[in-house]
Amino acid sequence: MNKKEKIIFVINKLEKLYPKVIPPLHHSDNYTLLIAVLLSAQSTDAGVNKVTPLLFSKADNPYKMIKLNVSEIRNIIKPVGLSPVKAKGIYGLSKIIIEKHNGKVPNDFKSLEELPSVGHKTASVVMSQAFGIPAFPVDTHIHRMMYRWGLSTGKNVKKTEHDAKRLFPKNLWNKLHLQIIFYAREFSPARGWDIEKDIITLKIGRKELLKKQNH
């Protein structure tokens, strides 16, 4: 199978497995999505979904958020980890959204990435899921799958994003990045990986990985 055939195989298989994708982080609008994605850094979506109902019941927009102080935010989000940095980020970005963007989440990469605690991956998720602008946010799952499938070198997430954008059709990026995440969690986890269940990797995976798994 050449690279083009591999890509078609991946797209078709993922579409069959996950015809409908629902973003895993619970949110009600662009602002709550931004906060949920920020909280998910080095945490699990399930963990974030446990703390956001309480946080959003107190503050579901930037105006309400800045009425809380940083330590109040921190106490609510403590279970997700990195709470001191994230709480400062949430308070700081809420203030900037009010002062510079009329209380609305900006819809361009530059403005998003200028917000405290918002990196390229968080900005990519917001651009994709809030505004429907093609983006390919690379998390640990996508990074792992692109390497296992032999579609990227695994050097770093920047390279993985570049390769994913180069190989997959732009009109599929927004759905596809979620499909890959769902597949990775279900069939190709980092730990407790059973190659026999990982149907895509079994078919197109790196030869050296398949050899290792079969020994």
Give me the catalytic one of 139, 155, 158, 207.
Answer: 139
Coil, strand or helix at 181 = helix
- Residue 211 has a pLDDT of 81
Cβ of 204: how many Cβ atoms within 10 Å? 20
- Residue 58 has a pLDDT of 98
- Residue 215 has a pLDDT of 58
Do residues 51 and 30 lie in contact, with contact meaning Cβ atoms separated by under 8 Å? no
Please identify every stretch of the chain with a pLDDT value under 50, giving residue numbers as ranges. none
- Residue 192 has a pLDDT of 94
What is the CATH T-level fold of the domain 3-20+137-214, as seen in this structure?
Answer: Endonuclease Iii, domain 2 (1.10.1670)
d(CA 101, CA 104): 6
Concerning whether 139 is annotated as a catalytic residue, the answer is yes
- Residue 45 has a pLDDT of 95
- Residue 101 has a pLDDT of 98
The beta strand positions in 48-201, using DSSP E, are none
Coil, strand or helix at 49 = helix
Domains 3-20+137-214 and 30-129 share a fold: no
- Residue 213 has a pLDDT of 76
Concerning whether 29 is annotated as a catalytic residue, the answer is no
Within 59-117, residue ranges assigned H as helices are: 62-65, 70-77, 83-101, 109-113
Domain residue extents for the chain: 3-20+137-214, 30-129
Structure tokens given for 50: 């446990």
Coil, strand or helix at 215 = coil
Give me the catalytic one of 86, 121, 163, 198.
Answer: 121
- Residue 210 has a pLDDT of 84
pTM above 0.85, yes or no: yes
d(CA 165, CA 155): 16
CATH superfamily of 30-129: Hypothetical protein; domain 2 (1.10.340.30)
To the nearest 5 percent, what fractions of the chain are helix, strand and coil? 65, 0, 35
